[in-house]
A and B are shown apart, each in its own frame.
Chain A
């Protein structure tokens, strides 16, 4: 990998892609994909990293006595909670508040930002430390806090690097997987005044040393949440670095911003979901820290926050729930496995999507969250190979949902050209002679199309070749097939 490190300067940094406004999202997708595809070094680096992920994941999967059956169980646990979400949310909120915490409900991003700003203001905070939290990316929380004059620091190493670069996460589990060590060294040199180094270990220690004071001095810690346990009123947070542990231990107020779909019914469900999240997400047996928080410190405990708030965020999730066909996409536990195996993600990179949630699952849910009209092009960002569906630990039918979104997009406004073409095809296909004539004509003129490249065929031909047409049609070949010898026919039938 050291060769990769040395070539850091030669590779162009992709343009920062803040969450794109809806208008022109498709045009930007195409333009950004073109740019990223040309960065062959970075794509090769990405492919190598993801090949490494697949190898560790497979080693870990092999330790399961039956991975496929475990997937069924994980699916069942999440299906149960999502299909009884009203009951789960009420039970969670009651149990959590009985433990001394406060639950807030946010219909949309603006309401969630308002609630968190209110909490921060009320406790007279100055400094805020955050651990990795995709819901906060979704509602653009940092910008809102900074606009009010609060200092916000991302403590997860990958998120911290992205914050310094002024970029959103590239991948919702591996935020800076596209950045090479040389680039990080330069970044730290510039922002933290550290000495240049080519060692990931030393770079990590620079960030560690920088962050220590910030944990101690922060007044408010903001985290996300991976699961809401209805039975016990606890939130479960999964992480590797220990930064979420520190964020929920040292500041005097802890705020967790969690999507409403994160519910599970029972504490025991985590015994299935935590290992599967780790194995599918990073190839680990269990992520380094899996922590349950049931409220602020209890009497007799020596430290921990005096206040704990959970903000339950809808922001379009109930709209996904209302589509029974795609309801299972709310079972997502955000492991990122579908991104890691996606041939499109590997080639266009995370920024190209222009969404908070990248890759196949992001392409399924973003049209629901932000409008099918502007985001339907994401449904086309798939070869429908189904690698995502195979990788999903909770068995979400991801690639079929992309197909469903394609169908839904044309259902309201079928294209006139498409309709005319289908009508013409139906007419020809119902008339065998006409069909034969059309086929013969097509086989003989395909070379012409290749040469003239008329639109819309030109778009297809820009990146693909046309197949060479066969000399004779299937029906012609069938008619002239040699007849089987009569004597050998019964013998052939007797063979097992």
Chain B
């Protein structure tokens, strides 16, 4: 028997002896205050997520509530949120950031909202999905991205419940753009805010039905570590700064 068949046979044999149901403590007849559930093989007795939705942290019921919860969570996570009314104002903001931090080169990917912010930016640009020039995964391409001061990406969704940004390898400039440069700038519209993680997963599944991107990543604040004496340090390996620009009127 090959390894696969051996492991599956071991698992099947082990499971041929029924165990206790969920929440049922082994060897405890009365249970610990939980109703004993009959072990059901082949079917989940209660749909875990549906059951848990009302117990997890709140994501907000209206767009205003969701935006407010997102704002609070991003602040707690030490991410920076700028909400601007028009694309024009978003461009001014990016211009000011580039000037103030003396960015030499900024990486981006071809997406309408990202492209709309770039005209007039006072630094060099590096497009990661450029058809000509070094491919993003060549040594030259990796080095070029590594030397950029910031990466600008779109996102799939913003999650109010956790303050997360969902990016994918298909729609947000691949895998490295959002994590290799020391600053990650996300540009999005308030319509992209969803309440919960479950909503964001549903949205990704619907949008990419049948062909999920090879990577989906929830980014929750700038990269961090507490490995040294449990003291929080930002920018362990990923971006030190996460800047979210929400543009109210993206048609402007």
Residues of A within 8 A of B (CB): 1, 4-5, 45, 49, 52-53, 63-67, 69-70, 72-77, 79-80, 83-87, 89-90, 93, 99-100, 104-107, 111, 155-158, 161, 174-177, 179-181, 184, 200-201, 203-205, 207-208, 211-212, 215-216, 232, 234, 240-243, 245-246, 248-250, 252, 260, 265-272, 274-275, 282, 284-298, 300-304, 308, 312, 314, 318-319, 321-322, 324-328, 395, 397, 400-401, 404
Contact among A177, A212, A282, A324 with B26 in the assembled complex (CB-CB below 8 Å): A324
* CA gap between A205 and B236 in the complex, in Å: 7
* CA gap between A266 and B225 in the complex, in Å: 30
Contacts of B128 on A, CB cut-off 8 Å? 302-303
* CA gap between A157 and B236 in the complex, in Å: 8
Contacts of A179 on B, CB cut-off 8 Å? 228
Residues of B within 8 A of A (CB): 2-4, 6-8, 10-15, 17-23, 25-28, 34, 39, 41-42, 44-46, 48-49, 51-52, 54-58, 73, 76-77, 109, 128-129, 135-137, 139, 141-143, 146, 161-164, 169-170, 173-176, 179-180, 196-198, 201-202, 205, 211-231, 233, 235-239
Return A379 CB to nearest CB of chain B, in Å: 15
Query: Could you write out 8 A-B pairs with CB less than 8 Å apart?
Result: A73-B52, A241-B236, A249-B175, A275-B197, A298-B170, A300-B170, A302-B137, A304-B169
* CA gap between A121 and B74 in the complex, in Å: 44
| Residue of A69, A234, A267, A282 ringed by the most chain B CB atoms within 10 A | A267
Contacts of A156 on B, CB cut-off 8 Å? 227
Closest to A157 in B: B227
Return B69 CB to nearest CB of chain A, in Å: 10
Q: In the bound complex, do residue B44 and residue A80 qualify as a contact, i.e. CB atoms below 8 Å apart?
A: yes
Q: In the bound complex, do residue B228 and residue A157 qualify as a contact, i.e. CB atoms below 8 Å apart?
A: yes
Closest to B54 in A: A65
Q: In the bound complex, do residue A216 and residue B19 qualify as a contact, i.e. CB atoms below 8 Å apart?
A: no
Mostly helix, strand, loop or mixed at chain B's interface? loop
List 4 A-B pairs, minimum CB-CB distance, nearest first: A242-B238, A324-B19, A73-B52, A241-B236
* CA gap between A176 and B230 in the complex, in Å: 10
* CA gap between A2 and B202 in the complex, in Å: 47
Return B161 CB to nearest CB of chain A, in Å: 8
Contacts of A69 on B, CB cut-off 8 Å? 51-52, 55
Contact among B10, B143, B174 with A216 in the assembled complex (CB-CB below 8 Å): B143
Q: In the bound complex, do residue B230 and residue A65 qualify as a contact, i.e. CB atoms below 8 Å apart?
A: no
Contacts of B4 on A, CB cut-off 8 Å? 93, 105
Contact among B129, B211, B225 with A204 in the assembled complex (CB-CB below 8 Å): B225
Q: In the bound complex, do residue A318 and residue B215 qualify as a contact, i.e. CB atoms below 8 Å apart?
A: no
Q: In the bound complex, do residue A83 and residue B15 qualify as a contact, i.e. CB atoms below 8 Å apart?
A: yes
- 9 extra A-B contacts, CB within 8 A, seeds A73-B52, A176-B228: A49-B230, A74-B52, A75-B23, A245-B175, A293-B215, A294-B213, A303-B128, A322-B17, A324-B26
Return A435 CB to nearest CB of chain B, in Å: 30
Q: In the bound complex, do residue B27 and residue A242 qualify as a contact, i.e. CB atoms below 8 Å apart?
A: no
Q: In the bound complex, do residue A77 and residue B217 qualify as a contact, i.e. CB atoms below 8 Å apart?
A: no
Q: In the bound complex, do residue B8 and residue A90 qualify as a contact, i.e. CB atoms below 8 Å apart?
A: yes
Contact among A80, A268, A302, A325 with B173 in the assembled complex (CB-CB below 8 Å): A302
Closest to B130 in A: A302
Closest to A155 in B: B237
Contacts of B46 on A, CB cut-off 8 Å? 76
